[in-house]
């Protein structure tokens, strides 16, 4: 029985939990939704700390907020790099699959060209044979 899975389905099936998690995190952090939510959180954080009358948990210049951003960046960068590495691997697999498809198509086209040449030669042989018969019949 022939395996009918595409290269993409095989690649997804071979992905472990960590790989899928890295892809999800990279997809999430690379979205407008993430940017908008993070911007709103930062604005609220800064606003509450600037106008808070009683308690400022992170007064200007927002050192705790900077620490949170540094921690986020420290974890986000390697996770995004893992996802990019997987994307590169997936691209290599797709390129190899495309190459193999092109090689197979080329072989089929060459086989068809040979077959068409053979048919053309057979047709020409028949035409020559018919002309020779006509020539012989016209001489008689």
| Distance between CA atoms of residues 88 and 22, nearest Å | 14
Cis bond upstream, residue 61 (ω within 30): yes
Q: What is the DSSP letter of 85?
A: H
| Distance between CA atoms of residues 11 and 89, nearest Å | 9
| Domain residue ranges in the chain | 14-139
Checking if the pLDDT of 97 tops 70, the result is yes
- Buried b / exposed e across 1-19, counting CB within 10 Å, b at 16+? eeeeeebeeebeeeeeeeb
Checking if the pLDDT of 11 tops 80, the result is no
pTM over 0.85: no
Instruction: Find the angle CA(20)-CA(22)-CA(27) to the nearest 5 degrees.
Output: 95
Instruction: Find the angle CA(70)-CA(71)-CA(77) to the nearest 5 degrees.
Output: 85
Q: How many CB atoms lie within 10 A of CB 68?
A: 15
Q: Which residues have CB under 8 Å from 109's CB, separation 6+? A: none
Checking if the pLDDT of 55 tops 90, the result is no
pLDDT tens digits for 15-48?
788 888 888 888 888 899 999 999 999 999 998 8
Q: Judge whether 77 and 26 are in contact, CB under 8 Å.
A: no
| Distance between CA atoms of residues 119 and 56, nearest Å | 89
């Amino acid at each position: 029985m022939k395996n009918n899975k595409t290269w993409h389905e095989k690649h997804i099936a071979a992905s472990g939990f960590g790989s899928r998690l890295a892809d999800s995190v990279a997809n999430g952090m690379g979205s407008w939704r993430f940017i908008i939510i993070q911007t709103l959180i930062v604005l609220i954080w800064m606003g509450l700390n600037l106008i808070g009358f009683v308690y400022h948990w992170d007064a200007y210049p927002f050192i705790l907020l900077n620490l949170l951003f540094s921690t986020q960046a420290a974890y986000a960068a390697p996770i995004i790099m893992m996802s990019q590495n997987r994307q590169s691997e997936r691209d290599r697999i797709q390129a190899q699959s495309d190459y193999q498809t092109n090689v197979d198509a080329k072989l089929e086209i060459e086989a068809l060209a040979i077959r068409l040449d053979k048919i053309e030669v057979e047709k020409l042989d028949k035409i020559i044979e018919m002309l020779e018969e006509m020539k012989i019949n016209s001489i008689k």
